[in-house]
Chains A and B, each alone.
Chain A
């Protein structure tokens, strides 16, 4: 090659690289690095670990389903919002292409700010506070119901529960965790309940409590004193266990405990910690379809990784965490790039019809929110979370009022 030809070739190569979008170069990325931020310790630790099971099974399943290599970068935010923010920053610095998490609304809102500032896509696995997808963010996506949706579906299922069991409770005492999620749910309940005229009960008292409370004696005494027919509860896990124990100590036997859509009472740890006392608690929550093809694939992978465990205890946590990772991997497969903007655009175009969770396909609206995710009425029966409503997905009939704990 003559010097002139060499220079021309070099100039052409330089010009080509100069006009090439950054994404095309990065399209050669062989794997997607997913920053998985979960509360694996602290008061949300058990739920975070449950979510982690869904994350851990994702890489081999997604490799098989989509031919995509996913590398997990795990971070524990210790149930602390400030730590969530710093973990998100660090994951981005260490090269995460997309963030997934964080179970908790407060932490998810903090991570969303970081993701938006740094221009890295963030897919919320579980978090219900509406404001997360109401800020006009371009890099934040959520495949989970908002608090409003959870409450709407949860209250409708409460009506169905009363109809199915021919019961007409007149009063409820409402107890809730005093955190971002609890407050969002409370707003939703107070806004929607008056409009649900088919529901026969009214709330006689509202009691907020610290999510990290170590003693709920006063709260339960106060609730018991209302003589309400049933307890409407928005809880987490540790407080749900504490509260149930305190109810037994104070010999308070309302018709039942019903959550209009919160974690806690369907978790494995709730069963382990309470044994028979866990029976008949009701949670109306976004749930998974046990008959879906993807569920069977995920269940197989789950049992391979956790031979002594059951997916049903982690269905919501592991299911939605897996789906969030699936969304990221699917977008990466279509975008063939880890460029954040290209990846975010691809996520926005998601249309996944083969999914685990109940409800319609995974499609994001303009705000980055998936609509039409379904809920189920899950009652604890024979030490398993069991779908009792809607009838189409039920595997047992609902029991309400719940037998007292002595008979349980």
Chain B
């Protein structure tokens, strides 16, 4: 098999995997701080994809241009969702949280079906069929831009948590809930902020993803599952782990398609998941409980 073929496929896997990673990063951030598993994560991303499609159809706005406004809207949405629905469930048993978010996911899918119908929708920007040619390498422009957007968003999130007071306060909540309360932090407000930030990740990933795939309401559950696979492989609650997991899943699916069979791609990513669960249950970059 030609080396340039393997390299092309690997790079496509890395670029796609970074977008997956950003999506999963949102899930990981929410779980890492709020300790709630967002079962409506993929559905939220599907809503972001539809938002990009609608804005493109109505105003001809490139999905990269709408990342910030859609992200802002999702921040508000995420904040309200956490403050209004999820905060009262924080102290309740886990199965109550689970059922709440599954119900939210089902409502989202059906609302999308009612509004947009079941057919696939996409955006058509002029660079979507173009590639950069570097020697024998071909880099899909849309995929490359999407990956860059994912990296920038992830870097901004890392910087926020590392260098801002608010970020440090959120990390304090994640490290010691009781301690954070004792020193006077408004934990519920910080939880809502965190959920909002997770939603922003999802929104940006959705706007990037709509350049790569067509969107249907049925995509939601598939992306939720994918996000779980990625964060479990990378380590639930670990932000670098989510990005690493995304890249690993993207590359492993691409190479499995190349060396084994394209229709066995998903099987391979689940195989990787089982392997990680057996050998390193906390995930590649996760901390032991």
Contact B119–A218 (Cβ < 8 Å): no
Q: Contact partner of B119 among A45, A248, A249, CB < 8 A? A: A45
Q: Could you tell me the distance between the alpha carbons of A253 and B2 in the complex, rounded to whole angstroms?
A: 19
What's the nearest-Cβ distance from chain A to residue B11, in Å?
Answer: 10
CB pair B261–A208 under 8 Å, yes or no, is yes
CB distance from B145 to the nearest CB of A (A): 13
- B129-A219 in contact (CB<8A): no
User: What 0/1 readout, one digit per residue, does chain B (107-119) give for beta carbons within 8 Å of chain A?
Assistant: 0000000000111
Q: B62 contacts the other chain (Cβ, under 8 Å)?
A: no
With CB as the reference atom, state the residue of chain B lying closest to A177.
B263
Q: Does residue A78 face the partner (Cβ distance < 8 Å to B)? A: yes
Which one of A219, A221, A238 lies within 8 Å of B8 (CB-CB)? A221
Q: Does A350 contact B (CB under 8 A)?
A: no
B128 nearest CB neighbor, chain A only: A245
Interface residue ranges of B1-15 to A (CB < 8 Å): 1-2, 5, 8-9, 12
Interface of B is mostly: mixed
B43 contact set on A, CB distance < 8 A: none
The verdict on A202 contacting chain B, using a C-beta distance below 8 Å, is: no
Residue on A with the closest CB to B118? A41
Alpha-carbon distance A251/B119, docked complex (angstroms): 28
For residue A293, CB closer than 8 A to chain B, the reply is: no
CB–CB A251/B213 < 8 A: no
User: Which residues of A are found within 8 Å of B138, using beta-carbon distances?
Assistant: 249-251
Please name all residues of chain B whose beta carbon is closer than 8 Å to the beta carbon of A209 when the two chains form the complex: 262-263
Min CB–CB distance B132 → chain A (angstroms): 11
How far is the CB of B123 from the nearest CB of chain A, in Å? 12
Within 8 A of B (CB), among A30-79: 41-43, 45-46, 78
CB under 8 Å from chain B, chain A span 344-398: none
CA distance A42 to B5 in the complex (A): 33
Contact partner, B263, options A46, A178, A222, Cβ 8 Å: A178
* Known contacts A41-B117, A46-B119, A251-B131; is-contact A221 B263 (Cβ 8 Å): no
Within 119-156 of B, Cβ neighbours of A (below 8 Å) are at 119-120, 128-131, 133, 138, 140
The answer to whether A207 and B262 touch (CB under 8 A), given A215-B16, A249-B130, is yes
B262 near A248 (CB under 8 angstroms)?
no
Minimum distance in angstroms from A405 CB to a CB of chain B? 9
Q: How far is the CB of A84 from chain B (nearest CB, A)?
A: 15
**Contact between chains at A222 and B262 (CB < 8 Å):** yes
CB pair A221 B129 closer than 8 Å: no
Q: In the complex, A207 Cα to B265 Cα: how many Å?
A: 13
Task: Report if A82 contacts B (CB, 8 A).
Answer: no
Q: How many angstroms from the CA of A248 to the CA of B127 in the assembled complex? A: 12
In the complex, what residue of chain B is closest to A178 when comparing beta carbons? B263
Interface code B56-97, partner A: CB below 8 Å = 1, 0 otherwise? 000000000000000000000000000000000000000000
CB neighbours (8 Å) of A222 from chain B are 5, 257-258, 262
Contact B262 A43 (CB under 8 A): no
- Chain A residues closer than 8 Å to B130, beta-carbon distance: 249
Mask of A228-252 contacts with B, CB within 8 angstroms, 1/0: 0000000000100010010011110
Closest Cβ–Cβ distance, residue A213 to chain B (whole Å): 8
Contact B262 A249 (CB under 8 A): no
Closest B residue by C-beta to A242: B214
B254 at the interface (CB under 8 A from A): yes
Q: Which residues of B are found within 8 Å of A249, using beta-carbon distances?
A: 129-131, 138, 140
**B172 interface hit (Cβ, 8 Å):** no
Q: Is the CB of A215 within 8 A of B212?
A: yes
CA of A46 to CA of B131, assembled, Å: 29
Contacting residue for A218 out of B117, B212, B218, B254, CB 8 A: B254
- Please determine whether A217 and B140 come into contact, CB atoms closer than 8 angstroms: yes
Asked whether A225 and B263 contact (CB < 8 A) given A249-B130, A251-B138, the answer is no
B263 contacts across to A, CB distance below 8 A: 178, 208-210
For residue A237, which residue of chain B has the nearest CB? Answer: B120
Minimum CB distance partner of A40 in chain B: B118
Q: What A residues does B133 contact at CB under 8 A?
A: 251
CB pair B262–A238 under 8 Å, yes or no, is: no
| Closest residue of A by beta carbon distance from B4 | A225
Instruction: Give the residues in chain B near A242, CB-CB below 8 Å.
Output: 214
A214 adjacent to B213 (CB under 8 Å): yes
Give the one of A41, A42, A249 with max B CB within 10 A. Answer: A249
Contact B16 A45 (CB under 8 A): no
Q: Given that A217-B254, A249-B131 are known contacts, is A45 also in contact with B118, CB under 8 Å in the complex?
A: yes
Give the complex CA separation of A248 and B140 in angstroms.
10
CA of A210 to CA of B263, assembled, Å: 5
Asked if A225 meets B2 with Cβ closer than 8 Å, knowing A215-B213, A217-B9, A218-B265, the reply is yes
Minimum CB distance partner of A208 in chain B: B263
Alpha-carbon gap, A218 to B250, bound state (A)? 11
Q: From residue 129 to 187 of chain B, which have CB atoms closer than 8 A to chain A?
A: 129-131, 133, 138, 140
Given A42, A214, A225, A250, which contacts B131 in the complex, CB threshold below 8 Å?
A250
A215 to B133, CA, bound (A): 20
CB distance from A182 to the nearest CB of B (A): 10
- A46 to B119 CA separation, bound complex (whole angstroms): 8
29 sample A-B contacts, Cβ–Cβ < 8 Å, listed by A number: A41-B117, A45-B118, A45-B120, A78-B118, A207-B262, A208-B262, A208-B263, A209-B262, A210-B262, A214-B212, A214-B213, A214-B214, A217-B140, A217-B254, A218-B9, A218-B12, A218-B254, A219-B257, A221-B8, A221-B9, A222-B257, A222-B258, A225-B1, A238-B214, A248-B129, A249-B129, A249-B130, A249-B140, A250-B131
If A42-B218, A217-B12 are given as contacts, then 18 extra A-B residue pairs at C-beta distance below 8 Å, sorted by A number, are A41-B119, A45-B118, A45-B120, A78-B118, A209-B262, A210-B262, A210-B265, A214-B212, A214-B214, A215-B212, A217-B16, A221-B258, A225-B1, A225-B2, A238-B214, A249-B129, A250-B138, A251-B138
In the A-B complex, list the 6 residue pairs whose CB atoms are closest, starting with the nearest: A41-B118, A218-B257, A214-B213, A225-B5, A178-B263, A219-B262
- The interface of chain A, by Cβ under 8 A from chain B, is 41-43, 45-46, 78, 178, 207-210, 213-219, 221-222, 225, 238, 242, 245, 248-251, 277
Residues of B within 8 A of A (CB): 1-2, 5, 8-9, 12, 16, 117-120, 128-131, 133, 138, 140, 212-214, 218-219, 253-254, 257-258, 261-263, 265
